[in-house]
């Protein structure tokens, strides 16, 4: 007596989701309009652009996969202890700590480094100020 085994590997697979296709194929919205040639009498004035690269700093702060800064707000001790954590730091973390401390006008003990995780912990919720600091340095 032979038992029949279902051969799962022979069954056709379903189609992948649309979001999966967009992610892996990089499909963008298609435009049906053809580019129109317009004759302008004045030449276009180039706008001054920000430098695309960060200045020569001894540290680097990488962005998250969603292209945001790795800055997180923490509330500990029942919400009484508020902290801001900066992650994904490469290079000389001490220089970044001192520059952040001076830019935010904080005391030395209010900006600490976790040497094990290479993260900077700032006293208080200061995400907008830290984001502005990093944007000014083109990270």
- Tell me the average pLDDT across 63-92: 95
Mean pLDDT of the chain: 82
Between 54 and 92, the more confident residue is 92
- Which pLDDT band holds residue 27 (cuts at 50, 70, 90)? very low
CATH assignment of 59-136, given 3.40.1010.10, 3.40.47.10, 3.30.70.980, 3.30.780.10?
3.30.780.10
Strand ranges in 41-88 using DSSP code E only, listed in sequence order: 59-61, 71-76, 81-86
- Res 30 pLDDT > 90: no
Give me the mean pLDDT over the 12-41 stretch.
64
Task: Write phi, then psi, for 34 (nearest 5 degrees).
Answer: -80, 145
pTM of the model: 0.61
């Amino acid at each position: 007596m032979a038992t029949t085994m279902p051969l799962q590997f022979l069954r056709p697979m379903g189609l992948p989701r649309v979001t999966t296709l967009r992610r892996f194929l990089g499909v963008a919205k298609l435009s049906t309009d053809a580019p129109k040639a317009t004759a302008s009498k004045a030449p276009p004035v180039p706008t001054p652009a920000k430098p695309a690269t960060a200045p020569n700093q001894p540290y680097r702060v990488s962005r998250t996969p969603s292209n945001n800064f790795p800055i997180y707000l923490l509330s500990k001790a029942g919400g009484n202890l508020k902290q801001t954590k900066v992650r994904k730091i490469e290079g000389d973390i001490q220089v970044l700590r001192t520059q952040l401390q001076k830019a935010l006008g904080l005391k030395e003990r209010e900006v600490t480094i976790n040497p094990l995780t290479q993260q900077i912990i700032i006293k208080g919720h200061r995400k907008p100020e830290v984001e502005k600091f990093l944007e000014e340095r083109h990270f």
